[in-house]
Structure formats: structure tokens, C-alpha cells
Amino acid sequence: AQSVTQLDSQVPVFEEAPVELRCNYSSSVSVYLFWYVQYPNQGLQLLLKYLSGSTLVESINGFEAEFNKSQTSFHLRKPSVHISDTAEYFCAVSEAGAGSYQLTFGKGTKLSVIP
Amino acid sequence: NAGVMQNPRHLVRRRGQEARLRCSPMKGHSHVYWYRQLPEEGLKFMVYLQKENIIDESGMPKERFSAEFPKEGPSILRIQQVVRGDSAAYFCASSPPDGETPLHFGNGTRLTVT
């Protein structure tokens, strides 16, 4: 079984400032890692994923996350946030391999970008 | 290519009524998953279905909840005799059969039980 911890439930940050949303996981097997974003009253959209290969993964809108196996972390970062980044961000993990459909989600971090 | 379609977006039911939530997967996707998001919580897996088969229902409450994915038509999550604690956002996701493609989520159905 896996578990995901997102330590910060809310993160306020000023526009154009950098941000890091923390995610730690625990698992006894190899995992895939994901960040999903949920804008108000919408569903979850996949932001980025780590399946294998390079431990640094990037999204098209400037976010990046780094898989750190020794620290069992997958923190999400952005060097300069925009108002439009205001949303809730969920870290998720699944067991690596075929049939990895059971995503285990963290409780989410609400990012509020202040003008 | 339409995404995962869920309806209704909002559903209000009185205690004791039945709630039916519908989900049409993305084109080409044959696997459907239902998740529930309680207030201030992350999403929790409920059930995994393929056409006419329930593959894994380990996250489903034992009573009042059922799910189906018929040969034709959308997947249905059915909640009988709803209670206030059923109030939540219910998300459907779909994927192709390869087992490694990330899930694509719909916009959810927000169920309110009064």
C-alpha cells in the first residue's frame, strides 16, 4: 500500500514569486508519481508525471517536479507564479507497472496567488 | 476529442432518495474508475470497471453503493437511500487498456444531500 503526505494545506504566495509545494510518499514497491491540478468547480487535470527516466519532469506551463527516491519526495516548483495558477494541487502515487490504476492521493494543497 | 463527460454537474437529493451519476469515458478508453472527494480530503478510489465487468470494487462502501458499465451507454454510479455523509464530489476517470497511461478525469458530479 502507498500513502501520500502533502504537508501544506494552503500556500499563499505573491504574484511572480517562486513557489514549492511539498509531497512525500511511502511505498514498499516502485511507484509512478503524478501532480494533478484542480481549478475551482472543475475536475482534475494532469499537470506532470514521473514514470521512469529523468528524475526532473516539466509541464508546459512552467511547473517542474523532481523525483527524489532517497527522500521519497516529489516536490512541485515554479520559479514565478501567475494569478492563473491559483488552484488546488494534488500529488498522487500508483504502483509502477501494468494495471496501476489505483491512484493514492494526498489531501491537496491550495495555492493562492496574491496580486 | 471529447474528454471524460460526467452528468449532472450538480445533484441535490433529499435523505432516502436515490442518486444516479453518469460517466462517459474518453473515446477509445475502455476502463472507467470512480473516485470520491470528501470535503477537505483527497480523492479516494471507489471502483474500477471495464465493459460489463467490475474489476475492483475494494473502495466501494458495502451497502447502498453500486456501479455498472454496460455494453452500451455510460457508466453509472448508483447510491441508494442517500444520507448526508454521501455529500461529496464524485469523479469519474478513464484510461485505455495499456495500464500505464495516466487517468483522465471528468469535471465531477457534486452531490448534495439535504
DSSP B103: P
Interchain CB distance below 8 Å, B43 and A90: yes
pLDDT tens digits, one per residue of A69-98: 999 999 999 999 999 999 999 999 988 875
pLDDT tens digits, one per residue of B30-63: 899 999 998 877 889 999 999 999 999 999 999 9
Per the model's pLDDT, the better-predicted residue between A52 and A10 turns out to be A10
Return the domain boundaries, chain A.
3-114
Tell me what pLDDT residue A102 has: 78
State what percent of residues in chain B have pLDDT above 70. 95
Find the mean pLDDT for residues A41-68: 89
Tell me what pLDDT residue A99 has: 57
Q: Hey, is the C-beta of A31 within 8 angstroms of any chain B C-beta?
A: no
Residue in B65, B26, B25, B70 with CA at minimum distance from that of residue B45: B65
Closest CA in chain A for residue B94: A101
Residue in the structure block whose three cell numbers are 462502501 = B61
Question: How many Cβ pairs within 8 Å bridge chains A and B?
Answer: 60
Tell me what pLDDT residue B34 has: 96
Residue in B114, B110, B93, B98 with CA at minimum distance from that of residue B25: B93
Tell me what pLDDT residue A42 has: 81
Looking at the partner chain, which of B4, B42, B48 has a beta carbon nearest the beta carbon of A105? B42
Domain A3-114 has CATH 3.40.1030.10: no
Tell me what pLDDT residue B99 has: 59
| Beta bridge partner(s), residue B36 | B44, B90
